[in-house]
Amino acid sequence: MSEQLGNDQRNLIVGFDLCDDFSQLSYFNYKTHEPESFCVDLEESRYLIPTAVGVKNYSKDWIFGEEAVSCGKLGTGVLIDGLLTKLKTGENIKIFDAEFDSISLMEKFLRKCLLLLKKKFPSNTILKLVITLKELDENVVNGLYQVLENLGIGKDRGFIQSHSHSYQYFALSQSKELWMNDIGLFDFDEQGLTYSQIYINHKVKPYVVGLKEEDFRETLSYPMLEEYKNGENLEYIFGNIANSVLHKQIVSTIYATGLGFDGNWADNTLKELCVGRRVFKGQNLYVKGACYMAKELAGDSKLSDYLFLSKEMITNDIYITGYYIGKIADVVLVKAGELWYEINNNLDIILDDEQEITLKLKNIISGESKGYKINLTGLPERPNRTTRIGIYIKFKDYANAVITLRDKGFGDFYPASGQVWSEEIVVQ
């Protein structure tokens, strides 16, 4: 039986947590004004969808999720899993003498998942969809945007963000009393335990929402769940980690997520952490955070005064000072808060008796500024203000930018020399 979202809403706001093992869906419920996790199987209260597709042996029908895994185990079909890994490596798969690339396989999976929503809400169309990933690999992100394009969802409706960014949006979409101070998150997945703490700088505007992370994957790993089945050693190790990261920290709320927290082995430690703070455990934090972000993108912004910075984002404004529209001004090349892999900016300037370019960086968190000078060695001699330089900026990762300068000459009178200067600078 199909449902409506309330208030005659016809547009779906969707969050999608896409992982290599399991995925989850959520949608914004206009009656409760909160994201709601999509239940795949009501009888079993199942929300996790195995990230896999498959082909049945005899009918050659495409299947996905639990059915694909089951067919693979029974030998009644071909199972294709690790779809994100395949997208990262660009691996092609041969199935029954036909070859499929990683983008087409992911497209089949996402199409099947989104059809679940279509079945539940046949009268609704997707207004905004946010996919959240554990980490933002450039190949994966570009591949997913291509998949969304193939599904008819352009960048005006589809957006991709990291788990850490979804965590920030989830945390600050809760009651304000839960984030009066810092917010902590323990994530225990198949790669092990990590801890992330959100802090908010109210001294600048927009208010900066930052994130500091610690890695405990070697100290508390997923195989240890099997090794210490009674849970006592696990609880001792987790308790020590929790006490060490929270020592002298003013934290209002603690979240615990990840399949590693299934069962009750950590419950006593989590109860102890409740002294002076709130503690929540669950598996839908990231998917709901993605849905909150989708709601923001739909224009219903409740956090417009906050700038969310994750490790994929640039923390510095990068600009150049010069004459602009008749006066000295700062012209921004890169704005703090942009995703490093989406930056591909350029600017043309005319030199005014100069043989070097000075780029300036201002850290949005600390307020500190610094400059980088790039000498234009070998630049042809020309009259003043007859040399045009193109400035191009791309990023290798969140901390390293590649600045390229190109001599463009000045029209037909002073042709371009073709000279190029390139320099890598650290921006974090």
Q: What number is the average pLDDT over the span 216-233? A: 89
Q: How far apart are CA 339 and CA 333, in angstroms?
A: 14
If you average pLDDT over every residue of the chain, what do you get?
A: 92
**Interval 249-278: pLDDT, tens:** 999 999 999 999 998 999 999 999 999 999
Q: Which residues contact 209 (CB under 8 A, 6 or more apart)?
A: 168, 172, 198, 199, 200, 306, 307, 308, 309
Please check the confidence at residue 389 and state whether its pLDDT lies above 80.
Answer: yes
Per-residue pLDDT at 310: 82
Which tokens go with 323? Answer: 């004459």
Q: How far apart are CA 247 and CA 192, in angstroms?
A: 22
Per-residue pLDDT at 66: 95
Per-residue pLDDT at 9: 56
Query: Taking Cα atoms as reference points, which of 269, 251, 110 lies closest to residue 188?
Result: 269
Q: How far apart are CA 324 and CA 247, in angstroms?
A: 51
Per-residue pLDDT at 1: 41
Per-residue pLDDT at 41: 80
Q: Is 273 helix (H, G, I), strand (E, B) or coil?
A: helix
Q: What number is the average pLDDT over the span 188-213? A: 92
Per-residue pLDDT at 223: 93
Q: Euclidean distance between the first and final Cα of the chain, in Å?
A: 52
**Interval 48-70: pLDDT, tens:** 999 999 999 999 999 999 999 99
Q: Which residues contact 251 (CB under 8 A, 6 or more apart)?
A: 181, 182, 183, 184, 197, 277
353 pLDDT band (50/70/90 cuts)? Answer: confident
Q: In the Cβ-directed half-sphere of 335, how many Cα atoms lie within 13 Å?
A: 6
Q: List the domains of the chain with CATH numbers.
A: 11-156 (3.30.420.40), 165-285+299-308 (3.30.420), 316-426 (2.60.34)
Please check the confidence at residue 81 and state whether its pLDDT lies above 80.
Answer: yes
Query: In Å, how far from its chain's centre is CA 282?
Result: 20
Continuous segment of H or E residues that includes residue 63: strand 62-64
Q: What number is the average pLDDT over the span 364-388? A: 90
Q: What is the gyration radius of the CA atoms in the chain, in angstroms? A: 25
Query: Taking Cα atoms as reference points, which of 21, 84, 71 lies closest to residue 51?
Result: 21
Which tokens go with 107? Answer: 């497209």
3 pLDDT band (50/70/90 cuts)? Answer: low
Per-residue pLDDT at 405: 95
Q: Is 427 helix (H, G, I), strand (E, B) or coil?
A: coil
Q: What number is the average pLDDT over the span 77-87? A: 96
Burial label for 206, CB within 10 Å (0-12, 13-18, 19+), is middle
The contacts found for 88-97 with CB under 8 angstroms, 24 or more apart, are 88/137, 88/139, 88/140, 89/139, 90/139, 95/55, 96/55, 96/60
Per-residue pLDDT at 7: 45
Per-residue pLDDT at 175: 94
Of 115 and 1, more confident = 115
412 pLDDT band (50/70/90 cuts)? Answer: confident
**Interval 133-149: pLDDT, tens:** 999 888 999 999 999 99
**Local structure of residue 179 (DSSP, 8 states):** G
